[in-house]
Amino acid sequence: MSRPVVHGAGDLSGLTVLAQGPHSLGPDGSPLTETLRVPSERLLPGPVGARLRVVVLDAHGRVDAQLLGDGDWGAIDKAPPSDPDLLVGDGRFLAQQAYAVAAHTQARFEKALGRRISWAGGGRLTLYANDKIDYANTGYNRSDCSIRFGKIKDPRFSARLPLALYRDLVAHEVTHAVLDGYRPRWADSLAGADSLAMHEALADLVAVLGVFGTVPVVQEIIGTEMAARGGTLETLGSDLLASGLFRFADRLFSHGRSAREPLAGTLPENWRTEIEPHRRAAGVVNAILTTVLRLWRQELGRPGRRASVYQVAAAGSRIGERVLNMLLRGIAYMAPVDVGFEDLLRGILAADGAVVPQDEHNYRGVLRTCFAEVGIVTATDDSLSGISGLKELNYPIRISSLSSDPDEVLRFIWDNPVLMEAAKLDSGAEMSIDRVRPSVRISPEGFAVSEMGASFAQTLHLAPGEARKLGLHTRSSVVLRGGGLLRFDEGGKLCFAALKPVLDVKRQQTLLDGAEDARTAARNVATSLFHPDLADPVTS
């Protein structure tokens, strides 16, 4: 009798998924696919893993548990049916698609951040791959940590089409779930309009840029667009490069319309004052995607870089992946509350500077320029750390405990009055230490960058008289909130701080003045396409 094979951390399973969706076809007329390498784990029928559960319904609406691994380590790959009608009804492939994209999206965050990511509540995320709901109600539900994917009537198929067959739509919703577990205050009942828009921007960018993960897919899309437009490698420009790649839910609707095309048309001048979160996020999405295109075109301007469609695709894939990793690393350098677009830019630049100090290909320079073009600017490189004003800090801490013990972080903050003042904390009020986690990120050169991150928050409930005494203009009771993100190097020294001062009257007045816009934005999220319950209140 043979001995069982021993498996361990780092094992990966290759699973085939639709590269964009059921309407994006390869050269043979069958759906364009790619293989995602996802962490291997023991899978029960469902499939059910340690942190993910997929529910598939049969034609009668009953749960139809699918076998991806039958209790064994890793999943068994299955190619999708080439017949469109068989594809819509294939529960086994639908389960594989939903599971693989969700696992890959979570793993992408974990690789970029250098640590495990938990869902809100700490349990499993459940994906209902073909729920009976209408397609417009597809979305992440905070209350039970689930994503429900509806189905849409499509004359191109004999049965209603499950939206989980769209890779980018699954990635978008899973990103909302990741962010909700990582930074729950970014979209809770006290979140501002910019913070809600940030959620949408990050989810859209993870979804759209995910297509760059596989060179053959990028190659096929570019080749198809060139053939349709009569383009050549010599005339290849930004419009053609972006045309087939930067679409969300490609050809979901009739006449080949996509759900969103972020670079289509002109960016509205007033995008920053838009109430609807997707439109308010347009500037950030535009800046990141323009960064990819500009770097890509610069690369193609080098001698020999346009020798073949494959070379063009390989360059784009490398750049798209690098920019996406910069974006994901940046969220670890942002405060746990009240984040804005300048905070995102600063976070990306600071995080990338820690991992890639030299920036040989000027990624950060191009990123700064593209953000500045939409009106978003931040501190100079020598001021990104946010600690220049924090002189002569005390370190009454044990380094061995700093990476895991909230009380050690609390003591560090308390024993440094200069930090308390910078964060404008109320010394008499309680302060919560949310997360204390180590992270290890690998630079493109293969070097490990080890840091420890800790986030804290403080919430104050003030009566009208107390608020006015502080200097706030209000006739109602108010809730003030602030906090910060601290990062320590491997020697235990503070190397980065992103602070949102609690008793900063000007900052809090701005938030109070924008409270009605935030409430309207939350209602818009709740009623918008694909987001039924993102903005439900949660405990702050």
Contact call for residues 14 and 100 (beta carbons, < 8 A): no
DSSP-derived secondary structure for 173-195: HHHHHHHHHH-GGGGSTT--HHH
Q: Tell me: the pLDDT tens digits for 488-534?
A: 998 899 999 999 999 999 999 999 998 888 888 777 666 565 665 54
* Average confidence (pLDDT) over 344-357: 96
Inform me whether the pLDDT recorded for 423 exceeds 90.
Answer: yes
Comparing 236-240, 297-301, 302-306, the range with the smallest average pLDDT is 236-240
Q: What is the pLDDT of residue 483?
A: 97
What domains lie within the chain, and their CATH numbers? 11-182 (3.10.170), 204-383 (no CATH), 399-528 (no CATH)
Contact call for residues 120 and 188 (beta carbons, < 8 A): no
Query: Sorting pLDDT into bands at 50, 70 and 90, what band is 366?
Result: very high
Q: What is the pLDDT of residue 531?
A: 61
Inform me whether the pLDDT recorded for 1 exceeds 70.
Answer: no
What Cα–Cα distance (Å) separates residue 64 from each residue in 41, 128, 205?
21, 11, 33
Q: Tell me: the pLDDT tens digits for 12-44?
A: 889 999 998 888 887 888 888 999 999 999 899
Q: What is the pLDDT of residue 334?
A: 97
More confident residue, 185 or 441: 185
Q: What is the pLDDT of residue 511?
A: 92
Q: Tell me: the pLDDT tens digits for 109-160?
A: 999 998 899 999 889 999 999 999 888 888 999 889 999 999 988 877 778 8
User: Percentage of the chain with pLDDT > 90?
Assistant: 60
Comparing 70-74, 116-120, 402-406, the range with the smallest average pLDDT is 70-74
Q: What is the pLDDT of residue 529?
A: 57
Q: What is the DSSP letter of 96?
A: H
Query: Sorting pLDDT into bands at 50, 70 and 90, what band is 478?
Result: very high
Q: What is the pLDDT of residue 328?
A: 97
d(CA 508, CA 480): 7
Q: What is the pLDDT of residue 153?
A: 86
Q: Tell me: the pLDDT tens digits for 4-13?
A: 455 666 788 8
d(CA 123, CA 137): 23
Q: Tell me: the pLDDT tens digits for 260-281?
A: 666 666 888 899 999 888 889 9
Inform me whether the pLDDT recorded for 325 exceeds 90.
Answer: yes
More confident residue, 514 or 445: 514
* Average confidence (pLDDT) over 219-223: 89
Q: What is the pLDDT of residue 6?
A: 59
Inform me whether the pLDDT recorded for 229 exceeds 90.
Answer: no
More confident residue, 329 or 238: 329
What Cα–Cα distance (Å) separates residue 221 from each residue in 249, 251, 275, 298?
15, 14, 34, 20
More confident residue, 485 or 302: 485
Q: Tell me: the pLDDT tens digits for 174-200?
A: 999 999 999 999 999 899 999 999 999
The pTM of this model reads 0.92
Query: Sorting pLDDT into bands at 50, 70 and 90, what band is 536?
Result: very low
Query: For 478-495, b where at least 16 C-beta lie within 10 A, e where not — what string?
Result: bbbbbbbbbbbeeebebb
Phi, psi of 407 (to 5 degrees): -65, -30
Inform me whether the pLDDT recorded for 250 exceeds 90.
Answer: no
Residue carrying the six token digits 């949408």? 200
Inform me whether the pLDDT recorded for 396 exceeds 70.
Answer: yes
Q: What is the pLDDT of residue 232?
A: 82
* Average confidence (pLDDT) over 354-361: 91
Q: What is the pLDDT of residue 10?
A: 75
Inform me whether the pLDDT recorded for 69 exceeds 90.
Answer: no
CA 325 to mean position of chain CA atoms:
10
Q: What is the pLDDT of residue 444?
A: 74
Helix (H, G, I), strand (E, B) or coil at 263: coil
Query: For 262-290, b where at least 16 C-beta lie within 10 A, e where not — what string?
Result: bbeeebeeebbebbbbbbbbbbbbbbbbb
* Average confidence (pLDDT) over 330-350: 97
Q: What is the pLDDT of residue 434?
A: 87
